[in-house]
A = this chain, B = another copy of it.
Amino acid sequence: MPVPAAAWLDLDPGHPFGLAALPYCSFSTRQHAAFHRVGVRVGDRVLDLTTATERLLAGRAALFRDGTLDPFLAEGHGAWADVRAEITAWLSEERFREAVEDLLTPVADAELRLPFTVADYVDFYASREHVTNVGAIFRPDADPLPPSWLHQPAAYHGRAGSVVLSGTAIRRPCGLARDPGSAGDPAFGPTARLDFEAELGFVVGVETVLGEPVAVSRFAEHVFGVCLVNDWSARDLQAFESVPLGPFLGKSFGTTVSPWITPLAALARARVRPPSRDTALAPYLTESEDWGLDISVEVRINRQLVSRPPYATMHWSPAQLLAHLTANGAALRTGDLYASGTVSGPRPQERGSLLELSRNGTEPLRLADGSVRAWLADGDEVSITATAPGPDGTRISLGEARGQILPAIREAVH
C-alpha cells in the first residue's frame, strides 16, 4: 500500500512517526486521567483512537473502549488491516479533518500506559553473535554455542509481572552471588554487575488452543506487532543461580518495554532474508517467507551512544521463534510477549549488552563524557531506540525503551 501524503496534518514527509509508522499505545491526559484510551502516534501527536472510532468507525469502537490494546489484538488480521487503513485515511484526507483534528494530543501531554496486558513473557536467545560472545565469556573451555542451538533457538520464560513501561525506574536488585573466581560462601547484597540487554519484543494477538502448534508460515496471523525491550540483567546473580534451571532472580526484577507497538504492517519494507544457516532444520522451523527484519537498534547510556546492534543479523527469525514456542502444543494467549534475546552484530560496537561491550567487565567502556563503565552505575539512564526502513529512503521510528537505575534498598527485610 503506498503511503499517502499527510496533507492536512502538515507533517514533514521524513518524520519518523509519519503515516508509514502509526504505532499504537495506551494513554490518558492530565485533564481526564481516569479516561484510558487507545492512541495512535502520528508526528509528535497522539490520536485518540477510542473516541475516533466512536465517531467514525462505530462497528469497531468496542475494540478500543477499555483503553488497552487487548480486544484489538485478539480480533485478528482483518481488524488490524481495516483499522490501519481507516486511520491512514482520516489523517490524510481533508474530509476527515474536522472529525479527528480535536482528537490529537501532543505526545508531551499524554500519560502513556502499558499498552496491553502481558500474558506470558518468553525471552529467546536468537543472535548467533550474542550466544557466541556469552558462551566464550562463561564457558571459555567449551564450544561457545550450546549443543542444541544451531538446531533450535533457546529460550526461557520470564516474569510477566515484572514487565514495566519505558520511563519506570529500576531498583538495583539484591541477591546472593560469589565473587568471580571464588569458591567460597556467597554473599547477599546489591548486584555489582548490573546490565542491559537490547532486544525486540513481539506481541501476540490471536490466541490458539493448547495442544495445537502454530506453523512457521502463520506468524503474521498471530503476531500483531513489535516493541522495544530492555531485559535488565544482574550478571552476578545470574551466574550464581543458573545451573541447572537457567536465569531467575538475575532477570526477574524488571523488564522495560517501549510504549509504542509498531504493527507488522509498518515493517513490510524491513523484511529481509536472515543470514544463511549451515545446519539443516526440522520442517517446523523451515521458513517459506523471509521474516528477518532490517531494524537498526541504538543503545545510549546517559544519552551517549554505546552500541548500534543490527537486528538484520539475527540468526532465528521471529516466525521461527513463534513456531518453536508452540512446537510442543503450548497455547498462545492474547498479550503473550516474546523477546528476541540480545541483539548483537559481528562488530564490537554492535554488541547489545555491557557483558559483551566490556568483555565481562574486563575492558570498561569509556563514554563520551569521559566516565567509564564496566557495569551500570546508580543513576544511569539506559535508552534503547530503533528505526526501520520507511518510504523513499526515510526511516520510521519504533520509539524508545528507557529506564534509570535507582540505588538498592539495603535495610533488613525482617
Q: A residues touching B (Cβ–Cβ < 8 Å)?
A: 119-120, 125, 135, 138-139, 146-148, 151-152, 154-162, 164, 168, 171, 173-176, 185-186, 188, 210-217, 234, 237, 240-250, 252-254, 280, 282-284, 288, 323-324, 327-333, 336, 406, 409, 412-414
**Residues in B whose Cβ lies below 8 Å from that of A174:** 213, 327-329
* A244 close to B246 (CB less than 8 A): yes
Q: Is the CB of A409 within 8 A of B328?
A: no
Tell whether, in the assembled complex, residue B327 and residue A146 are in contact, meaning their CB atoms are under 8 Å apart: no
Q: Is the CB of B248 within 8 A of A157?
A: yes
Main secondary structure of the interface of A (DSSP, over half): loop
Further contacts, 13 of them, CB under 8 A, given A148-B240, A157-B157, A176-B282: A120-B159, A148-B243, A152-B186, A168-B210, A171-B329, A174-B328, A215-B414, A237-B328, A245-B246, A246-B247, A252-B328, A253-B328, A323-B413
Q: Give the shortest distance, in Å, between A365 (CB) and chain B (any CB).
A: 25
| Given contacts A240-B148, A245-B156, A283-B188, A175 and B120 within 8 Å (CB-CB) | no
CA distance A324 to B174 in the complex (A): 11
Number of copies: 2
A186 and B246 form a contact (CB under 8 A): no
Q: Determine the distance from Cα of A252 to Cα of B406 in the docked complex, in whole angstroms.
A: 34
Q: Point out the residues of chain B lying under 8 angstroms from A284, CB to CB.
A: 188, 413
Q: Nearest residue in B to A207 (C-beta to C-beta)?
A: B161
* Whole-angstrom distance between the Cβ of A66 and the nearest chain B Cβ: 16
Given A120-B160, A413-B284, A171 and B210 touching (CB < 8 A)? yes
Nearest B residue to A168 by beta-carbon distance?
Answer: B210
* A162→B330 contact, CB < 8 A: yes
Q: How far is the CA of A331 from the CA of B252 in the complex (A)?
A: 9
A249 close to B413 (CB less than 8 A):
no
Q: Which of A125, A147, A171, A244 gathers the greatest number of chain B CB atoms within 10 Å?
A: A244
Contact of A147 among B146, B210, B243, B250 (CB under 8 A): B243
B164 close to A249 (CB less than 8 A): no
| Closest B residue by C-beta to A123 | B245
**Residue in chain B with minimal CB distance to A134:** B244
Task: From the candidates B148, B217, B252, B329, name the one contacting A241 in the complex (CB within 8 A).
Answer: B148
Can you show 18 pairs from A to B with CB atoms below 8 A apart?
A138-B244, A147-B243, A148-B186, A148-B243, A151-B185, A151-B186, A152-B176, A156-B246, A157-B157, A157-B159, A157-B252, A164-B210, A176-B282, A211-B409, A237-B328, A245-B246, A249-B324, A284-B413
Contact: B154 with A249, CB < 8 Å?
A: no
A328 pairs with B234, CB closer than 8 A: yes
A248 and B154 form a contact (CB under 8 A): yes
Instruction: With CB as the reference atom, state the residue of chain B lying closest to A240.
Output: B148
Contact A249 B327 (CB under 8 A): yes
Which of A168, A174, A216, A217 is most buried by chain B, counting CB atoms within 10 A of its CB? Answer: A174
CB contacts (< 8 Å) of A162 on chain B: these are 210, 330-331
Instruction: Report the Cα distance A245→B185, complex, angstroms.
Output: 24
Q: Is A330 in contact with B161, judged by CB distance below 8 angstroms?
A: yes
A151 to B249, CA, bound (A): 14
| Closest chain B CB from A155 CB (angstroms) | 5
The residue on B at minimum CB distance from A412 is B283
